[in-house]
Structures are given as C-alpha cells and as structure tokens.
Amino acid sequence: MRVLAVTAVAAERDAVCAAAGPHDTSALPGGYALRRAVRPAGPHPAATLDALAVGVGPAAAAAGTATALTAAALAGEPYDLVVSAGIGGGFAPGAPLGSVVVADAIVAADLGAETPEGFVPVTELGFGTVAHRPDPALVKAVASACGAATGAVLTVSTVTGSAARAAELAARHPGALAEAMEGFGVAEAAAAHGVAVLEIRAVSNGVGPRDRASWRIGEALAALTEAFRTLPDALLTGSGPVPEEPPSPRRTP
C-alpha cells in the first residue's frame, strides 16, 4: 500500500518522516518537495509512506495534495491512501494536550454563510459538501493501534482564539474533538482522485483563547511520530473506503 501524508509545515512533515526511516527528496510541479521513503515504513514490505508539506489552509492543502496525486498517477504509481496529518487544537475535555485524534468526520466548519439567524453551512445553501467521512473500519483500526480518540476534526480558515468562538463551534458540531486548517482540503483532493483519506492530529493546544505559554508543540510532534509508527500495522487490519454521503452539520440558530 502506498500512503501519502500531507502536512502544512515542514516540522509536521519531518515528524511523520521520523516514523518511517530514511527518505529521499524529489521535486513535484509547483515547487513541492516530496519526501519519498527509501524503504518501506515499518516491518511490512507492502506499506510505504511518503510525506509532503503543502502550506497552511484548506486551499493550499487541496492544491498540494492534488498535485502529488496527479504526479503519482501519471507515473503509474498511484497512492492508495492520503492522510492529512499534523498538530492542532483540541476541544476539552475529549482531546487533552499531547493526545492524538483520528477523524471519523473531516468537516469544513466555516464554509457557508452568516445570516441574521446564524451560520448556514454551504449544503443548506443548495450546493457543495461540508464533510468527508473516512472508512469507519480503517478509522477504528488506526485509532486502536495508536491509542487515539475518534471524533470530528474541524477544518477552519481562521484559528479559534476566544472562548465564545470555541463554544459556538462545539455547539454547531457536537462531538468535535479537534480543530486544524488543512483536513477538508486534503479530503476534497483525495475524493476527486478516488483515493481513501484519513486525518490524524496530535493536540498541541486547546481550542479557545490563545495562550502560547500553554502550547505543547514539541510534545504534540512527538505524539504524531509515535502515531505514524503504528500506521503500517493498522493498515493491515483496516478495510477499504466506503463511499458515503455525509449529513449536513446542525444549523445554529
């Protein structure tokens, strides 16, 4: 199985690569530097892990992921799975600092319209989608292997910086465990190419008021590396993707 891990920044990419051993670097169109595994990740010859840092935000994530998937397909080496990976904010109490979350739903939390009655997701406007749901068996296998919690991971274009915003998101998306900025873009590109998708986030900070003194970025990057060390074994027990039309998130009055 060929796996592509997509991160926002180089530090996250390097944390993923640390779990997979030596990598070479190859150039992709658009100036992307793809880290390609020199030997298979873990003890299973069929599992290889490549990693790519694409920039911050869903648009950059979608563009970089689509570039890598297209290049691989044209080379006759298509990927079987794309993983949006990195660190992110955790919703208390379900995702404490240093914990790992595997998304059972990858949700565009702020894609829609503001109205006098509240936020309306793009699906209620009559077009688009706001969520991708990874294969449940694969989510369960990966989460079990790395000791992660499972729940929705929200993709936002603006990082939450207040208690009021955190409460609004939690109310609109019950069960959400984490917030990041790239997952939905990665999932959109994977869906367009017919490739399975996952999102794995290690929690570096709480969702809410910005308090840099409380951030645990190093701890979260180490947790991300450990999570990816378990991935090859988990992929042996997970099943393939099951297409599903996800329900729209609940509208907040």
Q: Kindly give, in sequence order, each residue whose CB lies less than 8 Å from that of residue 6, ignoring residues fewer than 6 positions away.
A: 51, 52, 54, 61, 64, 65, 68, 82, 83, 84, 85, 182, 186
Q: What is the structure's pLDDT at 238?
A: 64
Report the mean per-residue pLDDT for the chain: 89
Indicate if the alpha-carbon torsion angle 156, 96, 152, 59 is positive or negative. Answer: positive
CA gap 174, 55 in Å, rounded: 28
Q: What is the structure's pLDDT at 251?
A: 39
| Pairwise pLDDT comparison (38 vs 91), residue with the higher score | 91
| Pairwise pLDDT comparison (13 vs 47), residue with the higher score | 13
Mean pLDDT of 223-235: 92
CB atoms within 10 A of CB 219: 16
Q: What is the structure's pLDDT at 252?
A: 37
pLDDT for 39 beyond 80? no
Mean pLDDT of 125-151: 94
CA gap 175, 170 in Å, rounded: 7
Mean pLDDT of 175-181: 96
Q: What is the structure's pLDDT at 240?
A: 45
pTM of the model: 0.88
Q: Which of 16-25, 132-141, 199-208 has the lowest mean pLDDT?
A: 16-25
Contact call for residues 84 and 202 (beta carbons, < 8 A): no
pLDDT for 221 beyond 90? yes
Mean pLDDT of 185-214: 95
CA gap 95, 151 in Å, rounded: 10
Q: What is the structure's pLDDT at 237?
A: 73
pLDDT for 117 beyond 80? yes
